[in-house]
Structure 1
Amino acid sequence: MIDDSQRHAVGDTPLYSWLSVYLKGIAMGMADSIPGVSGGTIAFITGIYERLITAITNLDPNALALLGGLGSSSGRRRLYERLVEMDVPFLVVLGTGIVTAVVAMSRVVYGALQQAPGATFAFFFGLIAASAIVLYDQLSLSTPGRIVAAVAGFALAFLVSGVTAGADGIHTLPIVFVSGAIAIVAMILPGVSGAFFLVLLGQYEYLTGTLTAFVDGAIAVLLGDRSIASLLDPATTVVTFVGGAVIGVVTVAHAIRWALNHYRAATLSFLVSLMVGALRLPVIEMRANVETFSLASVSPLALAVLAGGGAVLVLDHYTDDLSY
């Protein structure tokens, strides 16, 4: 249930409070766009994690039945009150901030992947490796079950990353849909990045490129430079991904909460070991984008690794008192 202090009517909430929620969404979206950094961690830091999880798990599909009463003032009031009770306005404002940042950051990251793929994947390596080190420090592989979970996570990611690295990948709509459902993990579980899963699945560069093309195409359509038909392909992919994320919110979120409630240590051991096994992918990509190994070619990669790792360690330093 939503705490009374959190159940605000939209009209009674000051504008600056919604602006604060929007800005926190932007911070989460920036984190969600980068492999190795978790939007869930940002939600923890900004003090909205519990409210976010509560709002997500309180979403009730039965509320859709109230749409039939939109023709009357009493029906609209009942729908409004139900949406406020589920804290949907909070999710909408926060989600708008997240989308704003994802759209902006995806353009930056996609450009970096096109212009400097080796250094970009080196940066990802630093982010993911440091995140795994930080999270492993909070784990204890003291039981056979946890060890098995850790080995399984490492092996799965190592094998999958070997297949997806350097390959064009399969970008069918069902794969995109499933990727969206899995990527939403970043919003649910602090410490684990949804963008990381997209990298592991070989969908990250494709989806950031598709989103960039969609935004550019939408702007061109508004300016009258292109027809709306040109948006069909990227829009279909974006809508499919978002649909997967929505389904993931009401399925993956509950599944993760169940796993954490019943097998917390083993679940975290599996997820963190996924990150370690997936380091194979950026290593392959770095090697593929370095023609000859020399001090001049390796130095930028080393600096990128240190930059990525340093960013995570600085974040961990200022959030060391948070319990995930």
Structure 2
Amino acid sequence: MREFLVVYLKGFSMGSADVVPGVSGATIALILGIYDRLIRAITAIDPRAFRSAVRVSEPAERAALRAELERIDATFLLALGLGIGTAIVVLSEVLYTAVTEYPVPTYGFFFGLIAASAFILYGEIDRWTGRRVTVSVAGIGLAAAVTGVTQAGVSHGPAMIVLAGAVAVCAMILPGVSGSLFLLILGQYEFITGTVSAFVDGLFGLLTGEGLASVFETGTVIVLFALGAVVGLFTMAHAVRRALERYRVTTLAFLVSLMVGGLRLPATEVSSNLDAALRADLAVAVVAGIVGVGTVLLVDRYTDGLEYAKPHR
């Protein structure tokens, strides 16, 4: 139980980072010394191995299921997942309030986080080749283009929510890249944090006699997002991991360039929310950005020297 609680608290720390664009939960896992264990556990999961769960009443199948759960480190994943989920639920309302009621300092802070993270990760690239420059330019252009489209208005339909979950979960693979940043680029960040906040409010509303309609509506979105995360875990996350193993630096250059292109969104949000008191608001945004940069530099200081990289190619 003590180990379960420790892992739960580490998961809470990861989840707290995952809610904030520009700070990666994988980076926190690296700092806390559980990154390698996390990657091993995730990539060990094989849905086909759980066929024994259908016949769990049989002793042999029950023993096989227990052995499989031990093999994938299920207790560790459960504790970590509960911690991450708790943090997301607790902090989503705070972040939703921040982006809707205080957009200038909030997006200024996000800009600083993302820019500093990109700068540090670009430092991981030891040598720039033609291919790396090409994929970097493509990454910046792609993220900037997608951000421009999503800012003009984007669907929050089932397909987009599933896609957002699948893309966001890939951030678990690479320290420094934030899943929340991908939600920003896809235009889903405010919607998802608002939905989680409304879901929690709906659950508390049940205690005061309110109906199930709000819980059912927001809960459906959360289930779709979780479904996307599961799908991404067995598809996109594995593909990113293989790309990192074979072409780490080129893949890193592309992912970091997505971050740079994604800076268009917080910059636009800051500029579009400046009122008549331009200088005062702009100063607040700049200070918030500096705080964001300082936060990333502090995290980077504690990860300096921690090895997670695969051989360069």
TM-score of the pair, normalised by structure 2: 0.95
The Cα offsets for residues 63-93 of structure 1, whole Å up to 9 and x where unpaired, read as 2211122223443232122111111111111
Aligned equivalent of 2:98: 112
Shift of 1:113: 1.2
Aligned equivalent of 2:211: 227
The 2-side partners of 1:134 and 1:19 are apart by 32
Shift of 1:154: 0.6
Are positions 1:170 and 2:155 aligned together? yes
Code of the aligned partner of 1:214:
F
Unaligned runs of 5+ in 2: none
Counterparts of residues 48-63 of structure 1 (less than 5 Å) = 48-63=34-49
Shift of 1:176: 0.5
Aligned equivalent of 1:8: none
The Cα offsets for residues 19-51 of structure 1, whole Å up to 9 and x where unpaired, read as 111111001000110000001111111111111
Counterparts of residues 148-297 of structure 1 (less than 5 Å) = 148-165=134-151, 167-221=152-206, 223-292=207-276, 294-297=278-281
Are positions 1:127 and 2:113 aligned together? yes
Code of the aligned partner of 1:272:
V
Could you say what secondary structure the match of 1:272 adopts? Answer: helix
Equivalent residues of 1:158, 1:277 under 8 A apart:
yes
Equivalent residues of 1:141, 1:147 under 8 A apart:
no
Equivalent residues of 2:195, 2:218 under 8 A apart:
yes
Code of the aligned partner of 2:258:
L
Code of the aligned partner of 2:50:
L
Aligned equivalent of 1:9: none
The Cα offsets for residues 282-310 of structure 1, whole Å up to 9 and x where unpaired, read as 11110110023643221111111111111
Aligned equivalent of 1:4: none
Equivalent residues of 1:141, 1:269 under 8 A apart:
no
Shift of 1:235: 1.0
Could you say what secondary structure the match of 2:247 adopts? Answer: helix
Q: What's the % identity of the aligned pairs? A: 48
Equivalent residues of 2:26, 2:171 under 8 A apart:
yes
Unaligned runs of 5+ in 1: 1-14
The 2-side partners of 1:213 and 1:225 are apart by 16
Equivalent residues of 2:52, 2:64 under 8 A apart:
yes
The 1-side partners of 2:91 and 2:262 are apart by 22
Shift of 1:209: 0.2
Could you say what secondary structure the match of 1:184 adopts? Answer: helix
TM-score of the pair, normalised by structure 1: 0.92
The Cα offsets for residues 145-183 of structure 1, whole Å up to 9 and x where unpaired, read as 111110100111111122223x44211110010000000
